[in-house]
Structure 1
Amino acid sequence: MPAKGDHDARRRDVSEAVWRVLAAHGFDGLTLRAVAAEMGASTGLLTHYFPSKKALVAHALDLAEDRTVAGRLTPSGRGMAAVREVLADVLPISDTAVEMNRVWVSSWDAALADPDLGARETGRYERIRSERLRPFVEQAHDLGELPRDADLDDVTATLVAFTHGLTVQVLFDPDRFPPERQLALLDGMLTALSG
């Protein structure tokens, strides 16, 4: 039996190989064989970590979530300035953000096809809305930066939908949506919501 440190190191190696496959080929290209080839290992080794494709995909989603959370910035502003920072942090305006968004968008097929994975994605979007963005939308409302009668659930949902929709357009047509244009469109949306 390998020492715990060896097992932990191997698990990190496996996770890094999973991420490289995801970044290069998306969830559609994520297979035990592809990860094994990336590591220069046998698929038999990987079955110790992932007894099924579903386990491999679940681990990949965990990796994507961990990397997303670890890379998040803490807004320096308040109210709408903080809302802008949170949303700009999602947009594919850097190579790292493009890679991360490609991974997330490629995960949607798997999540739509599997009820368990779909429930995980539903929970992730709920956390994005309620924990990541909503506190700053409420702060903006309290500061008078949003109309008094604004429905804050609708504002939050609209901003998440706008940002993710723009992200998809950028991934398919990056020349039309360079970083400056993405941020200008975001600013226009925030101005429109501010009334």
Structure 2
Amino acid sequence: MAKNANMDERRADLLVAVWNVIARVGLDKATVRTIARETGRSVGTLAHYFTDKDDVLVSALQLSHERIAARWEEKLSGLKGLNALRELVLDNLPLDEDRDLETRLSVAYWSRAVMQESVVSSQWRKGPKLIDRLITLVREGQQLKEIRDDESAEDIAEHVHASIDGFSLHALLYPQRLTRERIRKLMEAELKKLEVIST
């Protein structure tokens, strides 16, 4: 059992290194040879953990999804409605180094998903369903009379989701213009617009 645990840990460490390679050079250039060189391992060593490049890419994506989903559960524990929505939204913006890496990884997989159907792109669509969580929390906020109900929970969630993706992508493209502080401020302003105005 300990041997398997150590192997799983080494595999996870390798996959974290793979994330950095993908974020820097993209999926197409992230060959097994490049990954081996970048991680300081031999191609033969990688073969102990993965069958081929798609296995590496899918495994890296799955580990990312698992860690994101676990973080959501931890951060949303005990929160409801608007407070939970705010926490989830801010967690999905590149406001620190880890989430910046996740964003770069996401953009790399978006490109693959849009340009070609493959094992990797089909796995991308099976990731943590942010839109589902957003809809649930918006609906909960509406029931608690914290979030306005002049639009459906589904439509509000789509607007919020688009804001997350837009700010995230533009933060990568224009980091001088969209600093982390500015993204947070702009998103907080968007969330403020969702609040029920008390009379």
TM-score (norm: length of structure 1): 0.82
Bigger fraction of residues in helix: 1
Q: Which residue of 1 aligns with 2:146?
A: 145
Indicate if the aligned counterparts of 1:27 and 1:107 stay in contact, CA closer than 8 A. yes
Return 75-84 or 132-141, whichever deviates more.
Answer: 75-84
Q: CA deviation at 1:23?
A: 4.2
Q: Is 1:79–1:137's contact at 8 Å kept on the other side of the alignment?
A: yes
Moved more, 107-116 or 156-165: 107-116
The reply to whether residue 155 of structure 1 matches residue 156 of structure 2 is yes
1:22 corresponds to = 22
Q: Does 1:123 align with 2:116?
A: no
- Give the direction of change, closer, same or farther, for the CA distance of 1:149–1:57 in structure 2 (3 Å limit): same
Let me know the Cα RMSD of the aligned residues.
Answer: 2.5
Summarize deviations over 1:153-173 as a string: whole Å, max 9, x none: 111121111111111011111
Deviation of 1:88 after TM superposition, in Å, equals 0.8
Which stretch of structure 1 is more off in the superposition, 146-155 or 16-25?
Answer: 16-25
**Alignment match, 1:88:** 90
**Given that residues 27 and 108 in structure 2 are in contact (C-alpha distance below 8 angstroms), is that contact kept between their aligned partners in structure 1?**
yes
**Equivalents in 2 of 1:77, 1:9: separation in Å?**
31
How far has the Cα of 1:99 moved from its partner? 1.6
Q: 1:189 and 1:8 mapped to 2: Cα distance?
A: 41
Q: Deviations over 1:86-128 (max 9, x none)?
A: 1011111112221221111112122231244333333336x21
Which letter does structure 2 place at the counterpart of 1:135? T
Higher mean displacement: 105-114 or 22-31: 22-31
Q: Structure 1: which 5+ runs fail to align?
A: none
Q: Does 1:97 align with 2:96?
A: no
Following superposition, the deviation at residue 31 of structure 1 comes to 1.5
Quick check: 1:58 aligned with 2:61? no
Normalised by the length of structure 2, the TM-score is 0.80
Could you tell me how far apart the structure 1 residues matched to 2:156 and 2:165 are? 14
Q: In structure 2, do the counterparts of structure 1 residues 56 and 173 end up closer, same or farther at CA, with 3 Å as the change threshold?
A: same
Partner amino acid, structure 2, of 1:136: L
- Among candidates 102, 109, 112, match of residue 110 of structure 1: 112
